[in-house]
Amino acid sequence: MKVAMFTDSYHPTVDGAVISMERQCEGLEARGHEVVLLAPDAPSKTSVRWPVHYMPSMEFRSYRDYRIVVSPSDMLEYLRKQEVDIIHCHGLASMAILSLTAARALRLPSVLTFHTMANEAVKHYSFIGLREDLLIPLVWVYLRNLMRRPDMIVFPSSPIANEVLGHDVRPRAYEVIPTGVDRSAFSPGNRDPSMLRQYNLDGKRLVLHVGRLSEEKRLDLVIRAMAVLKREDPDLRLLVIGHGPAENRYRTLADELGLSDEVVFAGFVPDDILAKAYATCDILALASTFETQGLVILEAMASGTPVAGMDCRAIPEFVKDGYNGCLFDADTCADGIRRCLDGADEFRENAIETASRYSTDACSERLEKAYERAASVRRARTA
């Protein structure tokens, strides 16, 4: 099978959707399939292992790391030449529309993965000057219209499927398929305390945060929790890996709270350093209310690191309070991190066991079956 992956964002921009797509590409290739990618063109490009067809685009002014395709260019000609069997889109914006256009023109089955709570994102990044009470209903109108068109919708977690379907979204078919974790890349064997020296964190208890530094990730809650926890444990530190549009805001907040030494911003790090950080830190903290899955959760757990996470959307599907980590709400973030740190040794083996249920190969096998079902749905509706 040859799969054409459409994406609204791609390198040098890296987010959860990009990582998820690439993880699926790796899993499908390992199972004998081929993949090609279609992405918005960008001023700078990164070398990747898959063929990428770039299409003319413009910068999305409300979120400067993202781009919008402005012309399909030679999209159909490229897909015909590649002789693809199925189209799979990892976005809800311009590429979603183009993927459906391509699938219809080429008479191919189409799949769309719902990675982003667009109704939440629009609060932060809309370029339309409308109030939220008017804007968010319009987003749901768009999503209802968009998501009834693919032959298959993939949701990364059950809570997200239930939430979206609860807004009267009626897909032709859907499956819940999380993105798997590469347990050869993320494991407790990557523990390496020496990597902490470059951040002056030797001998410290460490809370880790991994992800794009954007408003919806709610890193401010974790930073404020650190202001409470440092009074109890002067050796506690927060290591923040990633960058994004809200980085300056979070840095300023840490400074205002007197946490210049306690909160270390490492920026974007190579994969090997990330794997070591997961395995070396004591816990991962995730305060986002935006997660459709939260790939960092399974990466941390595969590394033997428990997770303190917001009791919201997808996070409780993977984090079980008192078993492999702890859950908290907006008012109890400090307590959730404290409980997770105190129980980390007890939670560690359970975290590894949880991640073992979501291997890349197991999730790729489920995706294969979703592709087969999508093809069956298309045959039935065009018979």
Torsion angle (degrees, nearest 10) of CA 189, 194, 199, 205: 70
d(CA 115, CA 228): 33
Q: What are phi and psi of 239, to 5 degrees?
A: -105, 120
**For residues 191 and 280, is the Cβ–Cβ distance under 8 A?**
yes
Query: d(Cα 120, Cα 104) in Å, to the nearest integer?
Result: 30
Please report the pLDDT score of residue 126 as a whole number. Answer: 55
Q: pLDDT tens for residues 228-240?
A: 999 999 999 999 9
* E strands, 57-213, in order: 57-59, 67-69, 86-89, 110-113, 152-155, 174-176, 205-210
- Report the candidate in 347, 201, 354 with the shortest Cα–Cα distance to residue 265: 201
C-alpha torsion 250→45→125→123, nearest 10: -80
pLDDT for 62 equals: 57
pLDDT confidence of residue 124: 56
Among 78, 54, 64, 65, CA closest to 17:
65
Instruction: Tell which residue, 37, 57, 46, 35, has the closest CA to residue 13.
Output: 46
Q: pLDDT tens across 166-192, in order? A: 999 999 999 999 999 999 999 999 999
> Cα separation of 31 and 210, whole Å?
29
Torsion sign over Cα 160, 165, 171, 172: positive
Residue written as token pair 């807004």 = 167
Q: Which residue has the tokens 């020496």?
A: 194
pLDDT < 70 stretches in the chain: 61-65, 123-130
Question: pLDDT at position 64, please?
Answer: 60
Structural domains of the chain ordered from first start: 2-180+360-382 (3.40.50.2000), 188-356 (3.40.50.2000)
